[in-house]
Copies of this chain bind each other. A is one copy, B any other.
Amino acid sequence: MTTIPVLLGDRSYDVLVEEGSLARAGELLARHLAPRPARAALIADEHVLSLHGPRLLASLGGLACVTIPLPQGEAAKEISVYGRVLDELARARLDRGSIVLALGGGAASDLAGFAAATYLRGIRLVGFPTTLLAQVDASVGGKTGINLGAGKNLAGAFHQPSLVVIDPAVLATLAPRERNAGFGEVLKYGLLSPAPAILARLESQAPLEGPALVELIAECVALKADHVRRDEREESLRAHLNLGHTFAHALERAQDYRGLQHGEAVGLGLIAACHLSTLLLGCERPLADRVRRVLARFALPQRATFDPDAVLEHMGADKKRAGSELRLVLLERPGAPRVVPAPERSLLLDALAQIS
């Protein structure tokens, strides 16, 4: 069992990474949660629930657990679903000592996390992320949220989990495209990490499965945990984790969220960010090419079809901007990110031309 502590004072928790850990959930909860909860709610998208729910539930022993299914994908993050989940938590009479078990990818985790953050003004949350993207990113750090008509993730809360259980074995049940998309986010960690381990694993041809995959996931989680520890509320350092994401969010939005998967969009955003990093911060020229080679290894797209003006407009409207001045995370070199004011429009268009 690989254990990564996320150190946040009285909100500290452990992230556990081990193949087969989902089937040991009950034992892990008993070992890591004090005081022990008397009731739980398992919140999961209906597809994931059918695949992994029975194994998890069977492991819970005497813990009374109600199951709350969510629609698949982003539909889970609508405010009507949030209201229904709160009502079901109340109907199941969960109290302040109860826990929410969030099983699924980023969308289910975001919704379940927001419900846990706000039911009775906050009860404990345990994450069981089932996509690579959620395992390396969404499950750690306490960001929860729902979508509004005006945009994604516009409402939410910071609510740290009490425990995260990552079982890389479940990734085998993902569609290849979804599994591969997660490596877009892993690559972001490779570019941000001051240590070369993550990027080296992605650039080697050694197969990423079994213990190597466990280690890779743990390395990403440890890097994220370090950022979260130093800047829980994303007031400074944690913003580095947005490398590639200002482009990615705008690309996804310009396609009305119907084209690229998030991890695919992040991969494209990394190409654009590395291109600008070379132009503006003197980062090594071949970095964008290294990014392209890793993306190719995981069959991730290197180009997409979009309206550059729409993307620029959505970048300007990105909720991560401070005040009205758009900022970007770029790299001086791998492992050395810097937040800089966005350059003039022509340079942003040039960066978009690299991926269109």
Which residues of A does B touch, CB under 8 Å? 38, 79, 82-83, 86-87, 90-91, 95-97, 114, 117-122, 143, 145, 148-151, 154-158, 319, 321-324
Q: How far is the CA of A117 from the CA of B144 in the complex (A)?
A: 13
Q: How far is the CA of A64 from the CA of B156 in the complex (A)?
A: 24
Q: How far is the CA of A150 from the CA of B88 in the complex (A)?
A: 9
CB pair A156 B121 closer than 8 Å? yes
Q: How far is the CA of A223 from the CA of B197 in the complex (A)?
A: 55
Shortest CB distance A286–B (Å): 36
CB pair A319 B118 closer than 8 Å? no
CB pair B90 A83 closer than 8 Å? no
Q: How far is the CA of A231 from the CA of B322 in the complex (A)?
A: 32
Given A95-B319, A96-B322, A322-B96, residue A90 in contact with residue B121 (CB < 8 A): no
Which residues on the B side are within 8 Å of A114 (C-beta)? 118
Q: How far is the CA of A322 from the CA of B157 in the complex (A)?
A: 24
CB pair A87 B148 closer than 8 Å? yes
Contact of A321 among B95, B122, B149 (CB under 8 A): B95
Given A79-B83, A322-B96, A323-B97, residue A157 in contact with residue B118 (CB < 8 A): yes
Shortest CB distance A101–B (Å): 19
Is the contact region of chain A dominated by helix, strand, or loop, or is it mixed? mixed
Which residues on the B side are within 8 Å of A118 (C-beta)? 114, 118, 155-157
CB pair B157 A87 closer than 8 Å? no
CB pair A86 B321 closer than 8 Å? no
Which residue in chain B gives the minimum CB-CB distance to A83?
B79
CB pair B155 A86 closer than 8 Å? yes
Q: How far is the CA of A122 from the CA of B118 in the complex (A)?
A: 13
Shortest CB distance A220–B (Å): 22
CB pair B122 A86 closer than 8 Å? no
Q: Which of A38, A114, A148, A151 has the most CB of B within 10 A?
A: A148
CB pair B79 A121 closer than 8 Å? no
CB pair A38 B323 closer than 8 Å? yes
Shortest CB distance A119–B (Å): 6
Contact of A149 among B87, B150, B154 (CB under 8 A): B87
CB pair B158 A121 closer than 8 Å? yes
Given A79-B79, A91-B150, A157-B157, residue A120 in contact with residue B86 (CB < 8 A): no
Which residues on the B side are within 8 Å of A319 (C-beta)? 95-96, 120
Which 10 A-B residue pairs are closest in the complex by CB-CB distance?
A90-B150, A79-B83, A121-B156, A118-B155, A86-B155, A90-B154, A90-B148, A87-B149, A86-B148, A87-B148
Which residue in chain B gives the minimum CB-CB distance to A96?
B322
Which residues on the B side are within 8 Å of A96 (C-beta)? 319, 322
Which residues on the B side are within 8 Å of A324 (C-beta)? 38, 95
Given A322-B97, A323-B97, residue A119 in contact with residue B154 (CB < 8 A): yes
Shortest CB distance A62–B (Å): 15
Q: How far is the CA of A114 from the CA of B79 in the complex (A)?
A: 14
Q: How far is the CA of A151 from the CA of B94 in the complex (A)?
A: 13
CB pair B121 A157 closer than 8 Å? yes
Contact of A143 among B86, B121, B150, B321 (CB under 8 A): B121
Which residue in chain B gives the minimum CB-CB distance to A38?
B323
